[in-house]
């Protein structure tokens, strides 16, 4: 009898459901988008009902492909947009407000007030994170202070808070289980990264009552079962959960210290496995939990750096400047010129993330001349996507104290061969693109499969993971030095 794992990948712009067979082959996937809500400049929201509806729609569509029957599913894996935060009513499961998306900057002033009061060292030491509106704690606080009727609901114990993973588990289990895995909990600024538990000092600082938060579970192992989900039988174990970037790290088989991956999506996110060693960054990076396998498994940590705008810069060229009709067109347009010809684009369209953490920074397009063509702007955009990542990876090597292994790449923009070559050149490291580029989905499936004993260890998964193409460094050292110097001059203008 065939055995399948169903993965739910709940992302920023849409939800994907995929099927992986017992041999680790991704058999099919479906995706449905949902609306983005922008109430004010810098604010981003999602309607939780839209998120759940998109997941239900995907589940229905995946079985219409007739790859397998719902009864063939032996486990469910979940991966999700991470810091996005919401509150819902335990009684009926209805959201109490729109979810605040990870990109949202509405809590910038509050985070700055905590910095001014000298609290950033405490937050970083305990949570591994910097004080920034990116993370969940300040979002939860805003929701608690701005949701109608919240006081009465709090007193009656009806308020549940969580990131998207915990919301999906609640819905999938018919309201029986309120839990978040350790990788997602590590992104809230409320979990003590050493103990893996909610921290009283952090809870008090952000004014979050602990009883509204989910229990914290390992990333692999049975944590809930389906109940009352349209299109699925009751009793399927939910056995793998991880935030999207940690899931991609696992899906890239980066199981050893020093192995790193870069996911090219809306933003670009780089994680480097540091093993059981908790490395506190002195270079503007984040310390995060990568995963924990089972109740008795050791916690694996990672260093992380993210650029808020990566693929979103290409979308801006398409939708804002109308330079291209479709996002993939940027590769051909950028290839019409030899290089950037002095044009620099710093895509700080929603501030700058690691290693700068400048939420008020704004984008810069510089070096324009009468000879500047559309191709130069396209090339400068690809360069910027790669150069942001180079800054992050240089900081990682500095923190870890050793040279990184070849960088594994994934995500939609990893299909852009020109971008991958530029990344290898400006980084000065070989890039490896896997055969299965849907690594976020793969990670969720692998964690769930381990959780129900389909696979016995990560070593088995390394046999499944295969290389599709390598990109070797072609740029000369002197050229790379000059390219980085030009980029940093443009970056300095952004940070003024």
Q: Could you list the pLDDT tens digit for every one of the 496 residues in the chain?
A: 679 999 999 998 899 999 999 999 999 999 999 999 999 988 999 999 999 999 999 999 999 999 999 999 999 999 999 999 999 999 999 999 999 999 898 999 999 999 999 999 999 999 999 898 989 999 999 999 999 999 999 999 999 999 999 999 999 999 999 999 999 999 999 999 999 999 999 999 999 999 999 999 999 999 999 999 999 999 999 999 999 999 999 999 999 988 999 999 888 889 999 999 898 888 888 999 999 998 778 899 999 988 888 888 888 999 989 999 988 899 999 999 999 999 999 998 878 878 887 877 888 899 999 999 999 999 999 999 999 999 998 888 888 887 878 899 998 889 999 999 999 999 999 999 999 888 999 999 999 999 999 999 999 998 889 999 999 999 999 999 999 999 999 988 887 6
Q: What values do phi and psi take at 199, rounded to 5?
A: -105, 125
Count CB-CB contacts under 10 A for residue 253.
23
| Model pLDDT, residue 153 | 95
d(CA 366, CA 343): 6
Spatial CA neighbour of 103 closest among 305, 313, 351, 310: 351
d(CA 185, CA 201): 16
d(CA 31, CA 18): 9
Q: Is residue 62 within 8 Å of residue 8, measured between CB atoms? A: no
| Model pLDDT, residue 281 | 85
| Model pLDDT, residue 496 | 66
d(CA 161, CA 184): 13
d(CA 43, CA 104): 5
Separation of first and last alpha carbons in the chain:
63
d(CA 341, CA 459): 47
- For the question of whether the overall pTM of this predicted structure is more than 0.85, the answer is yes
Burial annotation 391-421 (CB, 10 A radius, 16+ → b, else e): bbbbbbbebbeeebbbbbbbbbbbebeebbb
| Model pLDDT, residue 1 | 60
d(CA 491, CA 496): 9
d(CA 188, CA 163): 8
The domains found in the chain, sorted by start residue, are 4-251 (3.30.420.40)
| Model pLDDT, residue 129 | 92
Q: How far is CA 195 from the centre of its chain?
A: 23
**HEC letters along 168-232:** HHHHHCCCCCCEEEHHHHCCCCCEECCCCEECHHHHHHHCCCHHHCCEEECCEEEEEECCCCCCC
Q: Is residue 463 within 8 Å of residue 255, measured between CB atoms? A: no
d(CA 317, CA 241): 35
Instruction: Count how many Cα atoms sit within 13 Å of the Cα of residue 227 in the half-sphere of its side chain.
Output: 9
d(CA 351, CA 496): 12
Q: Is residue 48 within 8 Å of residue 95, measured between CB atoms? A: yes
d(CA 227, CA 230): 9
Tokens 């870069």, located at residue: 262
């Amino acid at each position: 009898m065939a055995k399948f794992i169903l993965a739910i990948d709940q992302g920023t712009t849409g939800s994907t459901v995929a099927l992986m067979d017992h041999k680790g082959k991704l058999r099919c996937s479906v995706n449905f988008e949902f609306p983005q809500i922008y109430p004010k400049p810098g604010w981003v929201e999602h309607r939780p009902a839209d998120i759940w509806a998109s997941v239900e729609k995907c589940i229905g569509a995946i079985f219409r492909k007739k790859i397998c029957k719902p009864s063939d599913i032996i486990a469910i894996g979940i991966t999700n947009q991470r810091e996005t935060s919401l509150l819902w009513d335990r009684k009926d499961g209805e959201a109490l407000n729109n979810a605040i998306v990870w990109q949202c900057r509405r809590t910038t002033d509050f985070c700055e007030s905590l910095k001014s009061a000298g609290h950033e060292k405490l937050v970083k030491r305990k949570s591994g994170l910097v004080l920034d509106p990116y993370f969940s704690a300040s979002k939860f606080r805003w929701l608690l202070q701005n949701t109608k009727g919240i006081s009465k609901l709090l007193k009656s114990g009806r308020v549940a808070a969580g990131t998207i993973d915990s919301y999906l588990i609640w819905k999938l289990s018919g309201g029986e289980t309120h839990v978040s895995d350790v990788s997602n909990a590590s992104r809230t600024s409320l979990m003590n990264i050493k103990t893996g538990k909610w921290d009283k000092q952090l809870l008090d600082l952000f004014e979050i009552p602990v009883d509204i938060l989910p229990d914290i579970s390992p990333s692999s192992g049975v944590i809930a079962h389906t109940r009352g989900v349209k299109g699925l039988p009751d009793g399927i174990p939910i056995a793998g959960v991880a935030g999207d970037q940690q899931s991609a790290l696992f899906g890239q088989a980066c199981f050893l210290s020093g192995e790193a991956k870069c996911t090219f999506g809306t933003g670009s996110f780089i994680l480097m496995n540091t093993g059981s060693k908790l490395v506190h960054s002195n270079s503007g990076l984040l310390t995060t939990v990568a995963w924990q396998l089972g109740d008795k498994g050791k916690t694996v940590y990672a260093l992380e750096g993210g650029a808020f705008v990566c693929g979103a810069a290409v979308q801006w060229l398409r939708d804002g400047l109308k330079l291209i009709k479709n996002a993939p067109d940027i590769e051909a347009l950028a290839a019409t010129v030899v290089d950037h010809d002095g044009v620099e684009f710093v895509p700080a369209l929603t501030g700058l993330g690691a290693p700068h953490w400048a939420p008020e920074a704004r984008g810069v397009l510089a070096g324009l001349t009468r000879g500047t063509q559309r191709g130069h702007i396209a090339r400068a955009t690809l360069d910027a996507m790669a150069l942001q990542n180079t800054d992050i990876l240089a900081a990682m090597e500095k923190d870890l104290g050793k040279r990184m292994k070849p960088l594994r790449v994934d995500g939609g923009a990893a299909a852009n061969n020109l971008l991958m070559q530029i990344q290898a050149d400006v980084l000065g490291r070989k890039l490896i693109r896997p055969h299965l580029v849907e690594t976020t989905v793969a990670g969720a499936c692998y964690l769930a499969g381990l959780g129900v004993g389909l696979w016995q260890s990560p070593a088995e998964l390394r046999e499944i993971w295969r290389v599709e193409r390598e990109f070797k460094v072609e740029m000369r050292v002197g050229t790379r030095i000059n390219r980085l110097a030009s980029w940093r001059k443009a970056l300095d203008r952004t940070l003024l």
